[in-house]
Amino acid sequence: MTAETATRNLSDAEARSLDAGEQHYTAYVGPPEEYDLMGATQFRLLTTLGLRDTHRLLDFGCGSLRAGRLLIPYLQRGNYHGLEPNQWLVEDAIERQLGRELIGLKWPHFYAFDDFRADRCGSGFDFVLAQSIFSHTGRDLVEAALAGFRLALAPSGLAAVTFIHPGEGGIAEFEGSGWIYPDCAAHSPQTISAIVRTSGLFGRELPWFHPRQTWYVLARDPGRLPPREFDRHLRGAVLNLPSWRDSL
């Protein structure tokens, strides 16, 4: 058995001691001790923004279904779409979190291409989710992805995405290109705004709590962006958890 196989076979409890990025489905996508919370906070944000079970959703970079394990049971049959080039992450999550019976019941769709074109997954999506994707990409891939979001979203659709701003975690503005995971890339609010405009979308920051990044919401129709007077409902607070005290 190789070291990689041994790591992948660790129990979820054992994997909590791993570093982010290691070859276990709960660790490869981020700190394994936050696997549950990071999935839950994405689900909570989407439902706060209006996600209903009748909506079609694209989980862009769905990884090991950290959010998908909550979204797949919630959405009606066939309404969950997940894009993830690392197919082993999806397979491990199905085997160890969801089970084949649920997959047979809910009919989620999975795609494995790596060109960052959301529109290849279809169109008319009510929601697109991209959590901790653009924190590992150069501007070139952000531009390609958002251009695809513009085509993939329904006219009334929303995209919820995260970015790292320069200075967050001591990370400087990234000047390179491509996919650099597990290294991180920061993009300034000015750069993000310029890319959003160029893509034909409208967007703004959200105050929803993220321990290391900043949430944005994007739309084809600026009237679909949540009004700023509703920001008091978009805090993402988690109570009684010292490590997430900053969310309060």
Residue 31: CB partners within 8 Å, gap ≥ 6? 20
> What DSSP string runs through 180-212?
-TTS--B--HHHHHHHHHHTT-EEEE-----SS
pLDDT digits (tens, 9 = 90+) for 95-122: 999 999 999 999 999 999 999 999 999 9
pLDDT digits (tens, 9 = 90+) for 183-229: 999 999 999 999 999 999 999 999 999 999 999 999 999 999 999 99
**Model pTM above 0.85:** yes
Residue 80: CB partners within 8 Å, gap ≥ 6? 57, 59, 68, 71, 72, 106, 108, 109
Answer whether residue 1 shows pLDDT above 70. no
pLDDT digits (tens, 9 = 90+) for 46-97: 999 999 999 999 999 999 999 999 999 999 999 999 999 999 999 999 999 9
How far from chain centre, in Å, is Cα 241? 22
Model confidence at 22, in pLDDT bands (50, 70, 90)? very high
Cα–Cα distance measured from residue 174 to residue 91, given in angstroms and rounded to the nearest whole number = 32
Residue among 220, 206, 243 nearest 48 (CA): 206
CATH number of 32-247: 3.40.50.150
Residue among 146, 149, 110 nearest 127 (CA): 149
pLDDT digits (tens, 9 = 90+) for 116-155: 999 999 999 999 999 999 999 999 999 999 999 999 999 9
